[in-house]
Structures are given as C-alpha cells and as structure tokens.
Structure 1
Amino acid sequence: MKAPVSWIKEYVDLPADVTTEALTDRLTMLGLKLEAIETAGAGIEGPLVVGRVLSKEPEPQKNGKTINWCSVDVGDANGTGEPQGIVCGAHNFAPGDKVVVILPGGVLPGNFEISARKTYGHLSAGMICSARELGLGEDHDGIIVLPADAPEPGTDARGVLGFGEEIIEFEINPDRAYALSLRGVAREAALAFFDGHRGAPFRDPAQLDYPQADGAGHPVVLQDADGCPYFVARTVTGFYPSAPTPAFIKERLEAVGVRSISLAVDVTNYVMFELGQPIHAYDRAKLQGPIVVRRAQEGEKLTTLDDVVRELSPEDLLITDDSGPIGLAGVMGGASTEISAATTDIVVEAAHFEPTSVFRTQRRHKLPSEASKRFERGVDPLLPPVAAQRVVELLVEHGGGTADTGVTVAGAPPRPGEITMPVDLPARISGIDIDDATTVADLEAIGCRVTVTGGTLTAQVPTYRPDLTDPYDLVEEVVRIVGYDKVPSILPRRATGRGLTREQRLRRRVGRVLAGAGAIEVVSFPFVSDASFDQLGLPADDPRRNTVGLANPLSAEAPAYTTTVLPGLLEAAGRNLGRGAPGVALFETQIVAMPAGNGPAPIYGVDRRPTGEELDALEHAIPTQWAELGVVLAGEQERGGWWGEARTTGWDDAIAAVRRLADDLAVEVTVESAAVMPWHPGRCARIVSGDLTLGFAGELHPTVCRAFGLPERSAAAVVDLDTLMRIAPDAVPGPEFSTYPVAKEDVALVVDESVTAGAVESALREGAGPLLESVRLFDVYAGAQIGEGRKSLAFALRFRAPDRTLAEGEAGAARDAAVARAAELTGAVQRA
C-alpha cells in the first residue's frame, strides 16, 4: 500500500517537526511495516517543462511503425524561444494539447541522458514523456497529456506533476485490511502520537452526510444475503463522458500506482484508496432490469472487464440483471455494462461482500484485484452509503452530472461484535505495568466503545476492525499502542532436576549409533500419494495404503500423510545417487500415522482451556501415530583402490545395521525369513524380539530399485522405533571382561533348508549355558555330501568363565549341551 505523505496530512494534523522517517518508525511499531520511502520525480535532472503541441505529422516507417514528427512550443526554456522539433511514437495527443517535455541535457530515472539526436530522418531535440519514463507508473502506452489549465509552455513541470512528494510504501498484514486505504493509514498516524489521552487530531473522511433510502433508486434484489448483506445503489445522470480527470485525482492515483483511465473510473478508484471501500460503476443504459445478487447457476459464463470469458462455479457470487451475469461480486465487473466514452448515466454500486466468498472466487478464477484484496480481508460494513455519496459528489462536481434523488439500500450492515475480558488482562499477558485507565483509553483510541463493570471490561468493536474477535486481540491492540519495546525481557527460570527425557536420550543414542556406522541423517516431507505406494509395490489391500488425507496439502501430488518412512528416504537416496554419489547410507526418523476412523477432530476456541470431555474428544479423533526408523544403503559401502575392489551393498548390511542398533540398546533380537514388499522375496528378514515384530530388513525388490533410481541389490530396513525404545532397558549393562583363557569349540550342524541360521544360533545359545561368551556363523555349505534339501551351518563357539580357567571337559560338555538343544528344537544333526 502506497500512501503519499500530503494525502495523510489532509486527514491528520501531525506535529510540525515530524519527519517522514520518524512517522514511518512509529507506524512500523504499530504494525504497518515500512517497505520503502519514495520521492516522486527522484532521479530526474535538467530542464523538464510544460510544452504545447503545435503540429503533429504522422510518418509511416518501413518497419510498419508510424512515428509523429512534432513541433512543440516550450517557451524560452530552450534559450531561443523557437518551437522544438521532437519525434514521438505515441498517438494519444493532438495539436493544442499540453504535454511534459524534457529537453537536451536532462536526465530521466535510470540515468537515461537526453540529447539531440538524429532519428527517423529528423533531429529530435528532446522527449515528450510518458508516466513510465518519469517514474510515475507503469503506463507506457501513451504520453502524459496535461489539463488545459496547466501553466504556460516553458514552465517547470515539476510542480504540475507533484514532484518532491514523499510516498510511503507499507507491507500490510492480512488482518489489517483497514490500512489498505488513506483513511486507515491516517488513523494509524494519529494513533502513532497517542499519549494516553489523545492522539494527533484526526479528520475522518468518512464523516459525510448522505441521503437515506427512499426506494426510488435503481432496483436491487439480494437473493443471497449471506454473501451480500448490504448493497447501496446511487445514480448520476447527465454525466459528461469526456470530462477530464482533475489533476489532484490523477496525481494521487499515480502516486499509489494506478494509471488514469477516465473520470468515472478514476473517481471509483480514488474513493477506494481514500476510504477503503471498493466501488463499481455501471452504464445505466446497458443495465436490463433490476440488479440481482445471487449465486451462479451451472453452465453460466461471464466476460469480465479483462475480456476473458470465464466458466462460473455455483459457489461464485454474482451481480446480475435480466440479461444474466454482469459481474463477479467483489472481484471484477463484466464487460457488458462497462463505462464507455458514450456513458452519460451512471449507476454507482457500493456493497458489502462476505470475505470468504470473495477470496474463494478470486482464487478459483486466478483473478486478484484491488477490490478483492480489500473484500477478502474485511471492509468496514458501514462504508457503502458514505462511499457512494463521495463518488456521486465527485462525479457531479467534475463531470457535470446530476445526482438522482432516488437512493436504493438493500439489506443492512452486520452488527458490531462485543468482546468481554478482565480489565487487567493486557498487563498480565504482556508483563508491562498497564493500569486499567490506560487499557480503556487505548481501546477507545482505536474506536471501541468501552464499559467497565467491576474487574470486567466490555468493548464494542469498531466496524472497521473485523479482525478483533477475542480478548487476546484486544490485548494486542493495547500492547502495540503502549509499545512493544516496553515488553520486559525476562529469562525464564530453568526448572531444577530436569534434563532429557528417556525417549530423548534413546533417540539421540540411535542417531549416534547409526552415524557412527557411517550413515547420514536426512529429513524428508512425510507426504505421499497412491503413486508412492505403487513405487513400493504394495498390494492393493496392504494396510499401509490406508492414509490420513490432508485438508490443505502442500502439493496436490502428495495429498496424504505417510504410513511408512520409506518413500521420502528412497527418493533422497535416488536423488543423491543421480547426482554422482558412488554410494549412500541414509537414515531417517519420522512420525507415521494410520487413520483412527473416528472422524475429524473438533475445533475449539482459544479463549479458554478445553474441558476434560473436549480433550477426550480430541484424543479420540487423533490418528494412530508412532515413530519409525528407516535405513537405506545403496551403491558402494567401501571404496575401492589399490588396497582392493570396492564392496557394494548386500542384503546383510541392512540386517547388520539393525543388529548393531539393538546391541547398543541391549535389546536381544532374532532374524526370521519373511516375504514383505518392498523387499526381495527370499532376501527379506523379520526382526523379532521375543513375540514382538520390530521391523523388516533386507534387499529391496528389483522393481522398487528401478522405480526410485537405485542400483540393484540396494538394501533397506524399517524399525518401529517406539516399540524398540519401550523394550530397551533403562540402563545398558557394560561389557564384562575376563582375564582367563578362552576355550574354542567349532560345530557343524546339518539342518533342512527351511531352518534359519538364526533359529539354530538361538538354540545353541539356550543350550550352552552361562559359559558361552559368543557364537558366530562362519560357514554355510549345501551339496551332494549332505543330501538334497539340506544345508550345513558351521558355528564358532567361544567359552570362558569370568573368575577361573575352565576345567578339562567343561567346554566340551557345554558344546554337547548346545548341540543337543539345537537337535531338539531344529532337528539339527552334527556333521562328522
């Protein structure tokens, strides 16, 4: 929002010694963030004068372009008093018009130096300027034509153009829609100098007398009072369509970044920026029957002012007449009733539209406008009759029209809301010593009607502040007027006896173990689509396809919350390998969720703590969630070189990573064969602890590797981290060391192919007893010597006592007990 300082000062008496910088500092403290301070005409040097066009000779060129060879009277500004010859490519002027001319030796914004130069066969001595060339706007289609009463040729044009005017540009937060007007900015400027009793004197431009409804104006019917509760229509007849726009309106519109179009359009724009109420004007001759506000019907279309034919949605709020749609309410008018150069009778619309409806319409049609920007944030509902009166006055004064006596008012403005709060709430929330009188005075300064009964304050919210809806909004208003810089800086006291929770300690331990093993932690978005599960090869009935949908997803391509950590992790691995990494080892901890099937969560206000029943209802609706750990290993795990060949990932790497983690947390795990996507059948392991399944690990299925751009035999592991941490002991016992010698025993056991090495190992441990220090599988053999469908597993057993040297025969007896238990549980036979 751009606000010329002179326009602000028209409504508020600022202290005489206040600079623009000091004003913007105070406004920034109030919440209007400064973007820039501009000075109109900055960067222009040298002779910039008023000129009168004496002649204009069109000259077509070979390239198809037509230029105008002009003779321009610039008075004595050129030192000779003779007319100046200038080539101009614009065509929106005629002989006798007054224009802005920069003469040789001048400099335009962007350090563009003007000199006499030969072009198109003429010596062009200067330039006739457009608004864009002077830095006054983006209009480059035509040059600036000055009013007929502009000063005589040769006069410095800076004063005519309002150069030297300081313009403040603000960044306006969505909740401060009132500041998208000079009325709102000026009100804030007055508030910036509030001393607890009164601010700078403020003259509200909305304090206008206007005629009351008499039912004799243009008829209006509100079929959708929710979308449009209030509509005012006024009529001006006998308007002179060629009447020029006054210089002060043109200059102010240019200062806020809007180009001048015609008097009727300029007046509606001017009042919108002045008061904050968007206005629309219709050519009454083109209206057919009453104006009707309703929702669109299926299949309806509208050609908007930008000449685009738009397919309408039944959710769109329309302005219509007997011919059909003539405007998108609060967004943009239609071309069929547009003001033209022949318009003599004008119907002025000033209405209040429901913000959400306007927002959805402009988003649906990708049609943001200055009007929708204001309506979707909330406009003062009391403004329509005032704004309509202001437009009528300007059209009558400058366009020679007559205000029709008929005034139409349909509906009524929404009633202002009330907020009740403890009068000391601002002091308690902010920590500032704010007394009750200051709270009351500050709220009254923003326009609230305040009453205090006992310790309770009731404020009737001003209509221009629809963002004030609860007590904490009032707290913010009081604190911003008192000054955010007054909020004390107090370090919170550290609670004694607290540190990391058990879960935090274990999570950090998990990260340290995997990082120590050479893996790198990544963080990915937990959002997926059905395509993500297709890439994982999950069957149609896999429970992991049952996701929680997102009401407002970041991307329509990933509209659901994930049920597994793998999609994002595998994408990260593929992305890194695709960028030249020879190998990756990645891990990620992520919260995953399954729908609880209990419907959406209820939404409560923020003005109180939810009751126990309300908290239970929230808990009931929350999806089932748990922390899941994922590990992905792909490509080279050990680099090759002169010392040997590189080692690539194998299925056992993923299992080893889980085993290493379980060992560090002192959780005993065993490995069982499994067949679960996205792992390769026959190379997938279920990780088990007791009767709990902790997760899966192994080699990824080849189709999954191709889907994510991973090399074949890439491996992955997924672990239910919550369950793993729950069964982990609080204290991990340290390793025990014995100085006594170890006894080594090796056994080779023949079992069926279906028996896993993990099952045999578990049986050996169970049978060997407390003397067993370690057991390790060091060989697997299958061949004719042991028969078809059988395999030989060779284990190295190590026995040691912590307090003595083992006696002769103790290690052998423990070995025999281990073999016997393995034979009992797995059918193992010791190989000769």
Structure 2
Amino acid sequence: MKLSNSWLREWVNPQLSAQELADQITMAGLEVDGVEAVAGTFSGVVVGEILSAEQHPDADKLRVCKVAGHPDGEMQVVCGAPNARAGIKIPFALVGAKLPGDFKIKKAKLRGVESFGMLCAQTELELGDDSDGIWELPADAPTGTDLRDYLQLDDVAIEVDLTPNRSDCLGVAGVAREVGVLNRCPVKGPEIEPLAAKIDDSVAVTLAAGDACPRYVGRVIRNIDITASTPLWMAERLRRSGLRSIDPVVDVTNYVLLELGQPMHAFDLNKLSGGIKVRMAEAGEELTLLDGQEVKLKADTLVIADDKQPLAMAGIMGGLDSAVTESTRDIFLESAFFSPVAIAGKARSYGLHTDSSHRFERGVDYRLQEKAVERATQLLVEIVGGEPGPVHLRELTEVMPAERHITLRRARVSQGLGINLADDEIVDILTRLGLEKIEQDADGWTFLVPSFRFDIAIESDLLEELARVYGYNRIPSESMTAELSIEPRRESLLSQRALEETLLARGYSEAITFSFIDRDSSALFDPAAEPVALQNPISADLSVMRTSLIPGLCKALQYNLNRQQGRVRLFETGLRFVPAEGRELQQEPMLAGLAYGPRYAENWTGGKDWVDFYDVKADVEAVLARLGTQGEFRFEAGQHPALHPGQCARILRGDVEVGFVGTLHPQVQKQLDLPKSAYVFELSLDALGEARVPAFTPLSKFPEVRRDLALLVDADVPAASLLDCAVEAAGETLTDLKIFDVYQGKGIDFNRKSVAMGLTFQHPSRTLNDDEINAAVEAVIGQLKQKYNASLR
C-alpha cells in the first residue's frame, strides 16, 4: 500500500515529519518499507503557456514557439513535440534549470533559430510514463508559477507493507484512522453526502451464491461525458500510489479503492443483457479479461454475470466485453462484499494478482459498500457529469458476518501486558480504534468489534491492540528469573554421536534422506506395513512416511552408482513412522547403514575382495561394543521381506529384537538395478538401552590355562548356541571362549560339521590345578553332548 504524505495529511495532520510518522507507523505494527520522493529532482521549471507555434524554416519536425511564463516576459523556444500548439499550458524549463539526471538547460540554437528553454514531457521530469509529446497541463494552471509549487511535488510517498490481517489499512482512510489513534488527533475525511437520484433506472441483482457474496450495491449513471479529462490532482494521487491514469471512470473507481479501501467496478450499461447475477462459474465457461487474457473459468470461481454470460471474475478482474470504452455513455457501478474465503487463492490459480483480489482475500469492510458508491458518484458527477439513479442494495442478512462481542477482563490486562493501565486509558484506546463499549461491570468491559476489523476476534486480540497503541517501547523489559536445578547426566547414557563416530571411523559417511518416500518403495521394503499418507505431498515420489530408513539409503546408493562411485558406505540416524492400531503414530529413532562395493578402498597393497555379510556384521558389533554390553547381544537367523532368506540375522538383546542385518533380497536388488549385492542393517536406538558404566577389575597374577576342543555336531546347529552352552557349563573360572575353526568336508559326515573352540581358564586369587580344569572341560563336553549330540573329533 503506497500513499502520498500530503494526501494522508488532508485526513489527519500530526505534528511529525514524514520520517517520524513512518517510524511511528512501523512501531505500531504497520511496517513502512520506504519513504521516497514523488518526483524527480529538478528546479527552474514553471507553468508556461504557448502563445504561438510556427513551423521552423529549416526543419519539418520543429516548431518555433512563443512561450509565456518567464519572469522577463515572452521567450522563444524551439520544440519538436507533435502536440506543441498555441493555447496550451505546459511545463517550461527556463535557461539555467536543472532536470533529473543532472541535466542543465542552456541557451541553444537549433537549425539557426535560437531557443531559450525547453518544453518538457512527463518522462523528462520523472512525473509519468508519457513521452509522446509535451505534457499538457490544465487550462486553469497559473502561468509563471513554479511547477513544484503548483503540483505540490515537495512530497513523499510512504509505502506500507501490511501483514495479511490488517486489511483495514489498505486505504488512506484506514491508515489515517491509525495515525489519529496513535497521536490523539482528529481524523477528517471528505464529506460524502448522498446524491439524490435524478432517474429511476436500476438493474435487478440476484445473489445466487450467498455465502460468497451476501451483499451487493449497484447504481446506474446515465449520460456521462467519457471524453472529459481526469483532474490533475486525482491523476497525481493515483501516480503517487503506483497507479496509472486511464480514463475518468476507471480513475474514480481506483481512487475510491485507494481512499476508502473498497474495490469497485464499472460496467458499460448498454453491454449488459438483463440483470446482474452473482453466481459460481460453470466449468468451461470462457471470459476475456480486461488485460486481454482469455481464461477458462473453474467451477469454484465466483463470477458477476448477466442473463447471457459471465462479465467479470468477482473480486479479481472485470471482463473486456462489458468494459467502459470511449463510446460509453451509461454505466453501472458495482460495490460488493465478497467473503475472503471465496476469493482467497482464486487469482493465483489463474496466474493473476490485482489490487482488488489483494483486498478482498484479506477482508473488506462489509458495511462500506454504500459509502463507496456515494463517493464514486460524487466524483463522477463532478468530472464526467451524468444522471445518477437510486442506490440499489441487495443483502442476504442470514449469511452476513455476525456481530462480534468480546469481553475484556480487567485482570487480564496487567497479566497479559505486564503493566497496569488505567480504566479510562483502556476504554479510550479501544474506542478510538473503532470499538464500541456496550457493557461494563466490576470485572471488565464488553466491546462491539467494528465491521472493518476482521482480525479482532478474541480477548487476546484486544490485549495486542492495547500494547500496540500504548507503545511497545513504553512497556518495560524485565528479565525472567527462575530457580533451575541441574540434573546430573547418567554415565550409562551413551550419546547418539558416539555411535555415529564409530561408523565414521569404520569408513562410513553420514547421509540425510527424506522422511517420506514413494508408496512403491515402501511396499518393496516393508510390504506388511500400511504407511501414513501425506495429505499434501510435494510430489508422487514423496507421498508416504517411511517405516524404515533402508529405502532412503538404497536410493542414495543408486544416486552414487549413477555417478561412478562404486564403493559406498552410508549410515543415517532418523525417525521411522510406524502406524499403530488404536494408538497414535509411533515415531521411533533408528540407526541404519548400507555397504556396497569392494571391501577396501582402492590401493596398491589391498585385495579386490567384495564386501560380505560378515564385514557388515562386524560393523554392527563395533557399534554394539560402544555400549560395553556386547555380551548381552546375540545374532539369530531371521526373515525379512527385503533381505536374502539365507543371509539375514535378527539382533536380540535378551528376548527383545533391536534390529537386523543382512543382504538385500535378489528380487529387490534386481528391481533397484544393482549390479551386485548390497548389505544393510537397521537398529532401534531406543531398544539398544543404556550402556554399562565402566568399572575396574584387578588383573589376576596367576597363570591362565587353555584347552582346545574339536567337536562334531549337526550342521544346522548355530555356533552361538554352542558357545552359550559351553559358558553355562564351564563355571566362573572360564575367562575367554572363542571358535577358531569350522570344518565340513572329507572325513566328516555330510550332515555334520567340526567346530573347534578354545577355552581359557584363570582364577583371580590362586593357581588352578589340573583336576579343576579337567572337571570343567568334562562338564562342557557332557553338556554339549546332551543338548546337541556333540562328540569329540
């Protein structure tokens, strides 16, 4: 919203400079983007009058003019403008004048004829866009008067960047009301007296979409003179507000929009067929807009139509077929209230943004329409004449916005603002803002909200208004004080960063992928889960929330392979989103990893072996080792829909599954177009639990004894089960147990395998004897034989 300082001062005139006023408006919540001069910098330009214009003797396109306006009398000026003629008033730059761009006017001789000055176009003074000829001023412009004084060009334009909730200030009247409240100044706008109807003509109006347009005001004006010129003062105010002068009718509607904040439109009455009908568009209807653009209307678009066709997109832009032209003699003025919900977003859906849509989608005063029509009629009659008909109001009371009554409790003022305001000051501020006090009791007041304040709905809004008008800078700043006790951090809590550092040290790189994936990927990796669908996805490829981090890492792997990166190690920490029947969506923190390519980075000593299942299992064991409780975790053969059925392991802590590790299923690998196998793991960070707090254990001074056993067991017996059984049978003196050989082949039954394990015994306070060690070994052999039919090889 841009308006000139001089125009605002006609409504309210506080004793502040333009910059001080801009600062005050900004502090009140109406941010000022800039204060700039309304005209270029020039001097020595007066109102001149061409007394005569004769053809230059030696140039077809030049005229020799006698111009009045110089303090020393008539001056001769050579001019090349096609509209230079006797009798018109024009800007006359005298010799010595300075024009924008630091251009100085000097005495000159053009084709042998002396010229004492310059006759200026709008563009040469930076006062408009017309460069086709010299600027013709009104006939009553006083000859010889300084042009800056005549046009009041020592003015500035204030550009206010309003937040969407302050639509009431999208007009001079609204900004003036704010300035008046802030400075306790009277606000006095133009006197708008209703004009008596001279004719009885009117146009029937039907409101077929009452929720979108519950109020419509129209008026017929006949016998206007469209050839009349827009007054210079009005054209200048439009220009200073960023609008171009077009013709008197359009200029008046734009002027009322800027002055009162009510968008209006004028139809050529003789181009209407029957009455006006405000309705929703029929899908596929076409309309040619004022800018020449042809649009196909959507069914959710509100239109102004006659009995035959749509005439305008309601609240956005009028149509070309019913527009006012040079031949127009009779017009129909409309001024309506359109629901913000009905207009919001509609202009953008057609690639448009207009001054009308900007206001209507934020909310226009729903009691302003008659006043706007009367003001426009007043201006039109003064400029183009005409015979106005009666003001015709059509209103659907049942769907009009309801009156809003808000109770402000006295105690809430000090509680919400931190200051104590006197009762009189509270009432004074709110009533000056336009609210009406309708009730008062011991606890507070009840106010009626004015129709132009869409943003005031609850008690907190009134507190905001009090703080804003009272002055944010007047409210004292106080530091909050509170007693905070520092809770000690448990040593058993292992940071997520420590787990990440372990993987970084093992050659992995951290990846960050989207929390949402496409539905096909979700079904590929987790077909049993029904992912949560996004209501407004960015794209079809990002339409559901992930139930695992693995799909994102696989997509990152594809991205790297497509860019010739053949060795990939990635990990990611993040949330997965698991729907739970009858409960809220579970958001579980996870750690996932992926390995692909050669085991080692390329070097002259390393081999070219490919990474395998046990490499990734070792990486997972290294992560679990950071907890200091690796003995509590175990790996068991498992099943996962996205992993190879023979190369998948569940990771358990006790009886709780904390994750899995394995090779991608061949079908998944084929669908992802991966040349070789990829290995993945995923761990639940919550399920990992707490780490073991380090504790000192003294080293034994006594010797350790090792015994090796080679046992024959069935081929399908897991090695981990053998170890668990041996630990249980060996007793407390067993300090280390490891499998150092597994053999299947010649000399052993096809259904059996040989497992060789080393048992290390040590006592902390004495030397173990052979009988004790032999007894422990026999116990191990006996237990393994009983449970797994093991026999010594």
Q: TM-score band (shorter)?
A: 0.7 to 0.9
Alignment of 1:236-315 (within 5 A): 236-315=221-300
User: For residue 385 of structure 1, what is the aligned residue in structure 2?
Assistant: 370
Counterparts of 1:468 and 1:31, CA distance in 2: 15
Mean Cα deviation higher: 154-163 or 486-495:
154-163
After TM superposition, the score normalised by the length of structure 2 is 0.83
User: For residue 342 of structure 1, what is the aligned residue in structure 2?
Assistant: 327
User: For residue 158 of structure 2, what is the aligned residue in structure 1?
Assistant: 168
Tell me by how many angstroms 1:381 deviates.
Answer: 0.8
Q: Do the aligned partners of residues 142 and 271 (structure 1) sit closer, same or farther apart at CA in structure 2, a change above 3 Å counting?
A: farther
Larger Rg: 2
Tell me by how many angstroms 1:595 deviates.
Answer: 4.1
Q: Deviations over 1:15-60 (max 9, x none)?
A: 1xx2222222221121112212211235x45766768899999xxx
Counterparts of 2:777 and 2:674, CA distance in 1: 44
Tell me by how many angstroms 1:530 deviates.
Answer: 2.1
Alignment of 1:69-80 (within 5 A): 69=61, 71=63, 73=65, 75=67
Gaps of 5+ in 2: 109-113
Corresponding residue to 2:415 among 422, 428, 438: 428
Tell me by how many angstroms 1:261 deviates.
Answer: 1.5
Alignment length (residue pairs): 774
Q: Do the aligned partners of residues 77 and 233 (structure 1) sit closer, same or farther apart at CA in structure 2, a change above 3 Å counting?
A: closer
Q: Do the aligned partners of residues 751 and 357 (structure 1) sit closer, same or farther apart at CA in structure 2, a change above 3 Å counting?
A: farther
Q: Deviations over 1:532-571 (max 9, x none)?
A: 437xx337xx134x23233444556534333333444555
Counterparts of 1:560 and 1:692, CA distance in 2: 28
User: For residue 358 of structure 1, what is the aligned residue in structure 2?
Assistant: 343
Corresponding residue to 1:460 among 430, 448, 469: 448
Tell me by how many angstroms 1:310 deviates.
Answer: 2.3
Counterparts of 1:366 and 1:47, CA distance in 2: 45
Q: Do the aligned partners of residues 795 and 503 (structure 1) sit closer, same or farther apart at CA in structure 2, a change above 3 Å counting?
A: closer
Corresponding residue to 1:547 among 518, 527, 531: 531
Contact 2:245 2:251 in 1 (8 A): yes
Mean Cα deviation higher: 654-663 or 343-352:
654-663
Q: Is 1:558 aligned with 2:542?
A: yes
Q: Do the aligned partners of residues 555 and 172 (structure 1) sit closer, same or farther apart at CA in structure 2, a change above 3 Å counting?
A: farther
Q: Do the aligned partners of residues 669 and 228 (structure 1) sit closer, same or farther apart at CA in structure 2, a change above 3 Å counting?
A: same
Counterparts of 1:499 and 1:182, CA distance in 2: 61
Q: RMSD of the alignment, in Å?
A: 4.5
User: For residue 27 of structure 1, what is the aligned residue in structure 2?
Assistant: 25
Mean Cα deviation higher: 247-256 or 690-699:
690-699
Q: Which secondary structure state, in structure 1, belongs to the residue aligned with residue 335 of structure 2? A: strand
Q: Is 1:739 aligned with 2:700?
A: yes
Counterparts of 1:504 and 1:30, CA distance in 2: 50
Contact 2:600 2:606 in 1 (8 A): no
Q: Deviations over 1:466-515 (max 9, x none)?
A: 11111111121112222223153323414325466999876566556656
Letter in 2 for 1:316: T
Q: Do the aligned partners of residues 555 and 146 (structure 1) sit closer, same or farther apart at CA in structure 2, a change above 3 Å counting?
A: farther
Q: Which secondary structure state, in structure 1, belongs to the residue aligned with residue 233 of structure 2? A: helix
Q: Which secondary structure state, in structure 1, belongs to the residue aligned with residue 389 of structure 2? A: strand
Q: Deviations over 1:79-111 (max 9, x none)?
A: 99444455x8xx9x6867766688999887788
Corresponding residue to 1:527 among 510, 516, 520: 516
After TM superposition, the score normalised by the length of structure 1 is 0.80
User: For residue 179 of structure 2, what is the aligned residue in structure 1?
Assistant: 189
Q: Do the aligned partners of residues 493 and 744 (structure 1) sit closer, same or farther apart at CA in structure 2, a change above 3 Å counting?
A: farther
Contact 1:224 1:293 in 2 (8 A): yes
Corresponding residue to 1:627 among 589, 597, 603: 589
Q: Which secondary structure state, in structure 1, belongs to the residue aligned with residue 378 of structure 2? A: helix
User: For residue 770 of structure 2, what is the aligned residue in structure 1?
Assistant: 808
Tell me by how many angstroms 1:455 deviates.
Answer: 0.9
User: For residue 111 of structure 2, what is the aligned residue in structure 1?
Assistant: none
Contact 1:76 1:154 in 2 (8 A): yes
Counterparts of 1:749 and 1:628, CA distance in 2: 40
Q: Is 1:224 aligned with 2:203?
A: no
Q: Which secondary structure state, in structure 2, belongs to the residue aligned with residue 659 of structure 1? A: helix
Mean Cα deviation higher: 100-109 or 519-528:
100-109
Q: Is 1:6 aligned with 2:6?
A: yes
Q: Is 1:202 aligned with 2:164?
A: no
Q: Which secondary structure state, in structure 2, belongs to the residue aligned with residue 335 of structure 1? A: coil
Q: Do the aligned partners of residues 491 and 646 (structure 1) sit closer, same or farther apart at CA in structure 2, a change above 3 Å counting?
A: farther
Tell me by how many angstroms 1:781 deviates.
Answer: 5.0
Q: Deviations over 1:759-785 (max 9, x none)?
A: 444444444444444444555555445
Q: Do the aligned partners of residues 715 and 39 (structure 1) sit closer, same or farther apart at CA in structure 2, a change above 3 Å counting?
A: farther
Q: Do the aligned partners of residues 637 and 469 (structure 1) sit closer, same or farther apart at CA in structure 2, a change above 3 Å counting?
A: farther
Contact 2:522 2:547 in 1 (8 A): no
Q: Deviations over 1:564-588 (max 9, x none)?
A: 3344455566667878988665544
Q: Is 1:446 aligned with 2:425?
A: no
Gaps of 5+ in 1: 58-67, 118-122, 194-198, 599-619
Counterparts of 1:309 and 1:794, CA distance in 2: 86
Contact 2:413 2:420 in 1 (8 A): no
Q: Do the aligned partners of residues 156 and 427 (structure 1) sit closer, same or farther apart at CA in structure 2, a change above 3 Å counting?
A: same
Counterparts of 1:345 and 1:104, CA distance in 2: 48
Q: Do the aligned partners of residues 526 and 110 (structure 1) sit closer, same or farther apart at CA in structure 2, a change above 3 Å counting?
A: farther
Q: Deviations over 1:810-830 (max 9, x none)?
A: 556545545655565566665
Tell me by how many angstroms 1:227 deviates.
Answer: 0.7
Letter in 1 for 2:617: I
User: For residue 34 of structure 2, what is the aligned residue in structure 1?
Assistant: 36
Counterparts of 1:161 and 1:828, CA distance in 2: 111
Q: Is 1:673 aligned with 2:660?
A: no
Counterparts of 1:825 and 1:705, CA distance in 2: 39
Q: Do the aligned partners of residues 743 and 311 (structure 1) sit closer, same or farther apart at CA in structure 2, a change above 3 Å counting?
A: farther
User: For residue 624 of structure 2, what is the aligned residue in structure 1?
Assistant: 662
Letter in 1 for 2:413: P
Q: Do the aligned partners of residues 532 and 785 (structure 1) sit closer, same or farther apart at CA in structure 2, a change above 3 Å counting?
A: same
The share of aligned pairs that are identical, in percent, is: 32
Counterparts of 2:565 and 2:331, CA distance in 1: 70
Tell me by how many angstroms 1:299 deviates.
Answer: 3.1
Q: Which secondary structure state, in structure 1, belongs to the residue aligned with residue 163 of structure 2? A: coil
User: For residue 478 of structure 1, what is the aligned residue in structure 2?
Assistant: 466
Q: Is 1:685 aligned with 2:649?
A: yes
Counterparts of 1:418 and 1:47, CA distance in 2: 59
Counterparts of 2:751 and 2:738, CA distance in 1: 23
Tell me by how many angstroms 1:349 deviates.
Answer: 1.0
Counterparts of 1:36 and 1:706, CA distance in 2: 61
Q: Deviations over 1:688-728 (max 9, x none)?
A: 22333222223446786798898955543222333334xx4
Q: Do the aligned partners of residues 85 and 817 (structure 1) sit closer, same or farther apart at CA in structure 2, a change above 3 Å counting?
A: farther
Contact 1:40 1:166 in 2 (8 A): yes
